[in-house]
């Protein structure tokens, strides 16, 4: 059976009002925009959705809105990673209660946990709910804390709902090892990556990614995925290079610049919560120039 988590899945940004409070009506528009422009799944709130700058009640409130607005049109996963593991457990329970289709969880923040501690964490999390769990591996952001191939195999063998990974090491050797181990034990394991890095991952068994730039360029996301799955590598390279220019533009002060880019695309979503900055007018002018140079203003949808 094909895994339902595949393709370039969208993780919406979190719209804020000028006073930094949550902007629900705009969030509903963002969600609907992603579904209408071809997102194969929705996942919220990623780091790009300022997850760690939201309170736990805020996260619950918008998780409920996500499930309600998407309304079964595509699968919804809730990103439950929180600074306190106890909050993560609570968010996972909540995701199940509100009818989400799965959760996503990174290795614990800050403490640089040992491999055994990571193992125990995922066992506890996955056995506390019945939902499918996607793990999230990001060693370069978390001081080398990672899910190794060996740990992955122990978790897959033990946990029937451990169904995939967002593998964001962006490293050929690490990705290959996880792919080899995971797919041999669970052939429909969802091997995903971050930031639309499809080109280097699909030949090694990758079936999709989350998206950094999808709220600006959903068409490019879809085209890149299709080219990779069809094995049209020269075309895929061109699209990935274009995507890289967008990533280069947005990764600076991510997601502030992305929110700035959405203004240019006619989909304003408000400021970014401190400590991250909000894209200035000057920055927006620069972003507009870059988007124009890449042809994004002509090839991607404007407005909601």
Q: Which stretch binds other proteins (CB under 8 A): 27-35, 114-122, 192-200, 288-296?
A: 192-200
> Cβ of residue 202: shortest distance to other proteins, in angstroms?
8
Q: How remote is the C-alpha of 103 from its chain's centroid?
A: 11
What sign results for the dihedral spanned by CA atoms 191, 73, 227, 194? negative
Backbone φ, ψ for residue 76 (5° rounding)? -120, 130
Q: Sheet harboring 190-193: ordered strands across?
A: 7-9, 208-210, 190-193, 162-167, 133-137, 102-106, 76-79, 42-44
> What character string, x for contact with other proteins (CB under 8 A) and - otherwise, covers 134-173?
------------------------------------xxxx
Q: Which is nearer to other proteins, 66 or 179 (CB)?
A: 179
Binders in 211-240 for other proteins, by CB under 8 A: 231, 233-234, 236-237, 240
Judged by CB under 8 A, which of 148, 244, 253, 284 binds other proteins?
244
Q: What is the largest CA-CA distance in the chain?
A: 52
Q: Is 254 in the site for other proteins (CB under 8 A)?
A: no
Q: Measured from the CB of residue 180, what is the shortest distance to other proteins in angstroms?
A: 5
Least Å distance, CB 184 to other proteins, is: 10
Nearest distance from residue 241's CB to other proteins, in Å?
4
Q: Does 301 bind other proteins (CB under 8 A)?
A: no
Residue 199, interface with other proteins (CB under 8 A)?
yes
Count of beta carbons in the 10 Å neighbourhood of residue 281: 9
User: Contact between 202 and other proteins (CB under 8 A)?
Assistant: yes
How is residue 43 annotated by DSSP? E
Q: Return the number of the residue (31 or 294) whose C-beta is nearest other proteins.
A: 294
3-class secondary structure per residue, 227-293: HHHCCCHHHHHHHHHHHHHHHHHHHCCCCHHHHHHHHHCCCCCCCCCCCCCCCCHHHHHHHHHHHHH
Q: Contact residues for other proteins (CB under 8 A)?
A: 170-177, 180, 195, 197, 199-205, 231, 233-234, 236-237, 240-241, 244-245, 248
């Amino acid at each position: 059976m094909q895994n339902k988590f595949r393709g370039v899945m969208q993780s919406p940004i979190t719209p804020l009002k000028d006073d930094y409070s949550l902007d629900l009506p705009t969030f509903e528009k963002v969600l609907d925009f992603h579904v209408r422009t071809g997102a194969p799944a929705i996942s919220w709130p990623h780091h790009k959705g300022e997850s760690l700058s939201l309170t736990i009640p805020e996260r619950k409130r918008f998780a409920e809105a996500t499930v309600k607005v998407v309304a079964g049109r595509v699968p919804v996963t809730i990103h439950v990673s929180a600074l306190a593991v106890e909050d993560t457990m609570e968010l996972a329970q909540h995701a199940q209660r509100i009818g989400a289709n799965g959760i996503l969880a990174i290795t614990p923040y800050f403490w640089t946990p040992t491999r055994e501690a990571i193992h125990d964490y995922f066992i506890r999390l996955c056995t506390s709910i019945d939902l499918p769990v996607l793990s999230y591996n990001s060693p370069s952001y978390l001081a080398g804390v990672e899910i190794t191939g060996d740990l992955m195999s122990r978790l897959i063998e033990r946990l029937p709902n451990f169904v995939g990974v967002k593998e964001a090491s962006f490293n050929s050797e690490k990705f290959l090892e996880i792919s080899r181990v995971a797919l041999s034990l669970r052939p429909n394991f969802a091997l995903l990556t971050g930031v639309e890095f499809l080109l280097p991952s699909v030949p090694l068994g990758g079936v999709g990614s989350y998206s950094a730039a999808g709220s600006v360029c959903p068409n490019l996301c879809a085209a890149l995925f299709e080219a990779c799955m069809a094995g049209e590598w020269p075309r895929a390279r061109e699209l990935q290079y274009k995507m890289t220019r967008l990533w280069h533009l947005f990764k600076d002060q991510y997601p502030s610049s992305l929110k700035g880019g959405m203004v240019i695309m006619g989909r304003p979503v408000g400021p970014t919560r401190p400590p991250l900055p909000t894209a200035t007018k000057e920055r927006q002018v620069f972003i507009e120039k870059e988007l124009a140079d890449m042809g994004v203003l002509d090839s991607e949808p404007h407005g909601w």
